[in-house]
Amino acid sequence: MGLRSYLDSIEPNFHKGGKYEKYFPIYEMVESLMFTPKTVTTAAPHARSYVDMKRIMTYVVIATIPCILMAMYNTGLQTNGAIAALGDSAATGWRVGLLQALGFSLNPDSLIANMAHGFLYFLPIYLTTLIVGGIWEVLFATVRGHEVNEGFLVTSMLYVLIMPASTPLWQVALGISFGVVIGKEVFGGTGKNFLNPALTGRAFLYFAYPANMSGNTVWTPVDGFSGATALGVTAADGVQALASQGISWSNAFFGFIQGSMGETSTLACLIGLAFLLVTKIANWRLIVGCMGGMIGFSLLLNVIGSDTNPMFAMPWYWHLVVGGYAFGLAFMVTEPVSASHTNMGRYWYGALIGFMVVMIRVINPAFPEGMMLAILFANIFAPLIDYFVVRANIKRRAKRV
C-alpha cells in the first residue's frame, strides 16, 4: 500500500502539463511493472477480457523458466566438463576465481556447481540485454510520447536464450540494439513489427560476426576447447556419427549437449509450449503446421536419399531435438505479432517454417542450423499468406450470392 500511495501521489507530475511530463513513459513502465495498469478505455467499443498485454507477456516469461534453468545448468555442465577434460590450466577467468572464493567446486557431476557456473555466464548477458534494450525502449517511448510496452521483457529473455554463452557482452549489446531498433521500433513498436526482434538481433550478429556465432569453439566458453554440435556432426558424417561423439537422442532431448544457452533442451521447450497452449497464449494451428511441414519434408528427403549429403538421411525425430527447432517452435513460431493471423493462414505459415528449416539444414551444407532463417523468412511472407486466405474466403462467399 505504501508504494501504491506514493506512485499515486507523484503521478500528476508526469501527466500533461506536469513538471516531468516528458518522463511519463518511465513512470508508466514502473507502475505497470509493479501493479495492474489502471488505464481503461474511454470510448466505445469496449473489449471485455481478463487477458491484457501484461498478462500475456508474463505468461510467456513464465513459460521460459524451464529453459532458463536448463540454460544455466547445461552451460555450467559443458564448461565444467571442458575444464575437467583440459586440466587445471583451463580453469581461468573471473568466474572461476569467484566460484573458488565462494567455496564452489568445478565438478561437472555437481548440480550446484553447474548451476552456479552457468549462472555467472547467463546473468551478465541478461543484464546487458535488459539495460541496453531497455534504454532503447524508453528512448523511443519518450520521443513518441507513449508507454513502454511489456513486450521487451519477452524479447530480452528470448534473445538471451538463443545466444552462445561465449558471446562478448559488447556484441550482446549491439545485437539487441539492432533487434529492438531495426526489428521493431522503426516499424512503430510492439504490435507493429513484422519481424521477430530477438531473431533479428541474433541474425545480425550471425552475419556480422560469424566467428563468434558459429563453429566448434563458441558453444562452450573455455579457451582451447572445441566440440561440434549435433547438427555439425550430422552434416559432416551423418546421424550414425553422433554416437561416437557421445551424443544420444535422449541427451539431445533432455539438453545435455552443446548449443545456444536456452535451446538445447527439447523437454524444457515442450514444457513451456504446453503452458502456452493451456493458457491459450499460443495457437495450436501454428504448432500443427510447423510439425507437419518438418515431418513431411524430412520423410520425403529420407526416401529420396543422397550418396553425397548425409543430412538427407536425418530422421524427423532428430530434427526435433537438435539445433533451435524445439525452442523456435515453442516461443518464436507461436509469436502472435509476426505470425499469420487467419486460422488457415496459421497452418500454411507453420508448414512453411517446418519445410524451410529442413531445406536449409539439408540442402545448404554451409548452414546446418536453419530455424532462425526459416522463421524470419516466414515472417516476411505472413501478410501475403493472410492476404491469399482472405481473398479465397471472399471468393468462396461470393459464389454463394
pLDDT by residue (tens digit) across 13-23?
A: 766 777 666 66
pTM of the model: 0.88
User: Residue ranges of the alpha helices (H) in 18-149?
Assistant: 24-34, 53-63, 65-86, 94-101, 111-144
The residue among 227, 258, 275 that closes a domain is: 227
The answer as to whether 382 is a domain residue is no
At residue 38, does pLDDT exceed 70?
no
Report how far residue 293's alpha carbon sits from residue 157's, in angstroms, rounded to the nearest whole number.
27
- 137-173 residue pLDDT tens: 888 888 877 676 777 888 999 999 999 999 999 999 9
User: Are 76 and 195 part of one and the same domain?
Assistant: yes
- Residue 121's alpha-carbon distances to 66, 99, 117, 166, 356, in angstroms, are 17, 12, 7, 8, 32
Sign of CA dihedral 349, 352, 358, 361: negative
CB 164 within 8 A of CB 216: no
User: Are 148 and 9 part of one and the same domain?
Assistant: no
Q: Which residues contact 316 (CB under 8 A, 6 or more apart)?
A: 294, 295, 298, 299
Contacts 24+ apart (CB under 8 A), 294-303: 294/319, 294/320, 294/325, 294/354, 294/355, 294/357, 294/358, 295/354, 296/351, 296/354, 296/355, 297/354, 297/355, 297/358, 297/359, 298/358, 298/362, 301/358, 301/362
CA atoms within 13 A on the CB side of 187: 16
Residue 31: give the domain boundaries: 1-37
User: Are 18 and 104 part of one and the same domain?
Assistant: no
The residue among 197, 227, 257 that closes a domain is: 227
In this prediction, residues 283-299 reach a mean pLDDT of 97
Residue 45: per-residue pLDDT: 45
Categorize the per-residue pLDDT at 33 as very low, low, confident or very high, splitting at 50, 70 and 90: low
Q: Which residues contact 328 (CB under 8 A, 6 or more apart)?
A: 353, 357, 371, 372, 374, 375
At residue 323, does pLDDT exceed 70?
yes
User: Are 2 and 104 part of one and the same domain?
Assistant: no
